[in-house]
Chain A
Amino acid sequence: MSVLAFVGRRVAALAAMLVVLSFLVFALLYLAPGDLVHSLLGARAVTPQAEAAIRAQYHLDDPFWVQYLRWLGAALHGDFGTSVRTGTPVAQMLEGRVGVTVTLAAIAGVLAVGVGVPLGVRAARRRGSFEDRAITSASVVGVSAPGFAVGLVLLYVFAVMLGWFPLYGVGDGGLDRLWHLALPAAALAVGVGALVVKVTRTAVLRELDQDYVTFARSRGLSGARVLRLYLRGAAVPIVTSVGLVLASLVGGSILVETTFALPGLGVLLADSITFKDVPVVQAVTLLLATFIGVTTAVVDLFANLADPRVRRAAVAR
């Protein structure tokens, strides 16, 4: 078997996951309690004409799997139907919101990784020291603190009490936006960062115990060079945890956006759920889950291929 086949298997697994996911998301429509037609009508009046119109529009009389394929086909073209709540095309609603969520997640992600990885490495290098225990304790609290709880505390302390940051809203682009997103990003970064610290520390500890590190040190290699060596070794498990990190970011941003009333995808999702606006829920969920799934699979694949032992095993099989 060649490397190509190895990659092929992974891609196939990813595809399978996406298919199942899309199916689940589609089936949500049917899982919603109450009459399907009423769900789709939302707040509009229920008249026989309206019912017939809905039935036609959503092809509700077709067999299940046909409906699914039709929906999937449309989704792949970017057409997610119309919002039950606002009547506007879903795709349009998403457009405006994506930017906010992406910015928020990006800032939080960079913060989490930029602070989390060095802290994790430091804790591992000084294992058992006061520093290590402090960092580890902080990360335990960080992992236990849900983004919205931290967000609220931050909101109270820095926005209400001290008034340094704005309370709600997303600002007018550029620096103003950054200022508005500072607290939410910090709140989000705490939980995700704690996760990154844990994963990094574990990975680095494992490498530090390895013989090749001792051997490198015994040959007189400088501290910096040895660091590079074991960081390379630890890189794979750290990088492959990107899936967890992303999922944490996504889940967390839904909550944090709600806390800070930011007009992002997260709030859209939460509101749509409350209003049972199924088409929107389907669209957002599919988008987010696909993004996470694909990114994880791609990163995982590259990380594994970067390890020569895996390459050899793949070829040898």
Chain B
Amino acid sequence: MSGADVATTTARAPRRPEPSRARRAVRAARRVPGVVTASVVVLAGVAVLVVLPLAHGSALDQDIVLGTTPAGTPGHPLGTDALGRDVLALTLAGARSAVLGPLVVALGSMLLGALLGTLAGYREGAVDAVVSRYVDLTLAMPALLLAIVVAGVVGGGYWVTVLVLVVLFSPGDVRLVRTAVLQQKHRPYIEATRVLGLSGPRVMARHVFPNVRPLLLTSFFLNIAYAIVAMSGLSFLGLGVSAGAADWGRQLADGREILYDNPAASVVPGLAIIVVATAVNVVGDWLSERLDTGMSELAEGSVPA
């Protein structure tokens, strides 16, 4: 125990019982395997849709003459939208836009977080001060609002939006990693590596990071879910995605006008967003419980508004 030995500190560590067998038994009874499996299935399906080009070919074919038709029209099980596009095909094609950007956002945020967080936690001092101020500042600002404003004013389309979101999401991961690194630095198992004379970078990589990885993984999934919601919101407002592209947010916006004629045109992509985002969240939550090495409290508070 470093630091001044004050009269209020204990003579020895409170006796910790062996991992309570009772507690473990109780926990095991609470799992809901069905939901997690379902989520994984959903995600697998989405992955297929993203990768395979077959869904995208005919999706954008317009048929102005046909116009809006309700669900159940022969050849169009979910009807068509105002431009005569088949709703089902369009929705399937929209999977790519719904998921790819968020994936990149989460990846970018994770990488930035790992980099800056490790730097700040390892070096401390001035480097940490700068990084922390930056993180505090960015996290204090309302993310969605800023995303909308910047993406809207600057324009630039889908990938600019992705970049903006990476900048807005990364401070959360930076803080996560920084806290995890700082906490571990003073733990006996890390101090032991100092006494063994192991070099700093080696300790970071082989000893500290393995305990940070699970936190980042959980955050990764949560970030994807939030990014899906954020990006679909942006495209709903007409920002980010170009007008004719297959995108769920866009479909929602377009479908609003023909709500009476073919509600499926907006309800179906709306449900698609909800289902996919939920599936990602479920997997993320499940991971967070599985990988509980005692540092899971840090995972909260890392996701922006």
A touches B (Cβ under 8 A): yes
- Residue B233 interfacial (CB < 8 Å): yes
* Contact in complex: B153, A31 (CB < 8 Å): yes
CB contact under 8 A between A250 and B271, given known A160-B263, A255-B236, A273-B153: no
* Contact in complex: A289, B236 (CB < 8 Å): no
* A281 and B187 alpha carbons, distance in the complex (Å): 49
CB contact under 8 A between A247 and B260, given known A28-B153, A274-B238, A281-B153: no
- Residue A103 interfacial (CB < 8 Å): no
**Shortest beta-carbon distance from B251 to chain A in Å:** 10
Instruction: Mark out the residues of chain B between 263 and 289 whose CB falls within 8 Å of any chain A CB in the assembled complex.
Output: 263, 266-267, 270-271, 273-274, 277-278, 280-282, 285
* Contact in complex: A140, B278 (CB < 8 Å): yes
* Contact in complex: B136, A13 (CB < 8 Å): yes
Stretch at the interface among A151-159, A169-177, A178-186, A301-309: A151-159
Which A residues are CB-close (under 8 A) to B236? 146, 148, 255, 258
* A297 and B137 alpha carbons, distance in the complex (Å): 12
Which B residues are CB-close (under 8 A) to A259? 256
Instruction: Mark out the residues of chain A between 1 and 59 whose CB falls within 8 Å of any chain B CB in the assembled complex.
Output: 13, 16-17, 20-21, 24-25, 28, 31-33
Which B residues are CB-close (under 8 A) to A155? 259
**Shortest beta-carbon distance from B31 to chain A in Å:** 10
**Shortest beta-carbon distance from B3 to chain A in Å:** 14
Which A residues are CB-close (under 8 A) to B166? none
- Residue B149 interfacial (CB < 8 Å): yes
- Residue A89 interfacial (CB < 8 Å): no
- Residue A82 interfacial (CB < 8 Å): no
**Shortest beta-carbon distance from A26 to chain B in Å:** 12
* Contact in complex: A17, B140 (CB < 8 Å): yes
- Residue A239 interfacial (CB < 8 Å): no
Which A residues are CB-close (under 8 A) to B144? 247-248, 250-252, 254
Interface residues on A, range: 35 or more
CB nearest to A151 among chain B residues? B270
- Residue B143 interfacial (CB < 8 Å): yes
Which B residues are CB-close (under 8 A) to A16? 137
CB nearest to A139 among chain B residues? B281
**Shortest beta-carbon distance from B219 to chain A in Å:** 15
**Shortest beta-carbon distance from B71 to chain A in Å:** 13
* Contact in complex: B148, A293 (CB < 8 Å): no
Contact of B153 among A17, A32, A243 (CB under 8 A): A32
* Contact in complex: B154, A33 (CB < 8 Å): yes
Which A residues are CB-close (under 8 A) to B136? 13, 17
* Contact in complex: B252, A148 (CB < 8 Å): yes
CB nearest to B297 among chain A residues? A206
CB contact under 8 A between A244 and B305, given known A152-B266, A152-B267: yes
**Shortest beta-carbon distance from A137 to chain B in Å:** 7
Contact of B281 among A144, A254, A270 (CB under 8 A): A144
* Contact in complex: B148, A269 (CB < 8 Å): yes
Count how many chain B residues have C-beta atoms less than 8 Å from C-beta atoms of the other chain: 54
Contact of A273 among B29, B146, B152, B282 (CB under 8 A): B152
**Shortest beta-carbon distance from A8 to chain B in Å:** 16
- Residue B15 interfacial (CB < 8 Å): no
* A191 and B150 alpha carbons, distance in the complex (Å): 23
CB contact under 8 A between A33 and B155, given known A141-B274, A288-B145: yes
CB nearest to B279 among chain A residues? A144
* A297 and B238 alpha carbons, distance in the complex (Å): 33
**Shortest beta-carbon distance from B155 to chain A in Å:** 6
Most buried by B among A20, A28, A149, A259: A149
- Residue A133 interfacial (CB < 8 Å): yes
* A289 and B297 alpha carbons, distance in the complex (Å): 28
**Shortest beta-carbon distance from B97 to chain A in Å:** 15
**Shortest beta-carbon distance from B263 to chain A in Å:** 5
Which A residues are CB-close (under 8 A) to B22? none
Contact of A254 among B137, B148, B156, B271 (CB under 8 A): B148
* A152 and B273 alpha carbons, distance in the complex (Å): 12
Contact of B137 among A20, A141, A144, A149 (CB under 8 A): A20
Q: What are 19 A-B residue pairs whose CB atoms fall within 8 Å in the complex? A: A17-B137, A31-B154, A140-B281, A140-B282, A140-B285, A141-B274, A146-B277, A149-B274, A152-B255, A153-B270, A254-B148, A255-B233, A255-B237, A259-B256, A270-B152, A273-B148, A288-B145, A289-B141, A292-B145
List 9 additional contacts besides A146-B277, A270-B237; criterion CB under 8 Å. Answer: A32-B153, A133-B30, A141-B278, A144-B280, A152-B267, A206-B297, A247-B143, A254-B145, A269-B149
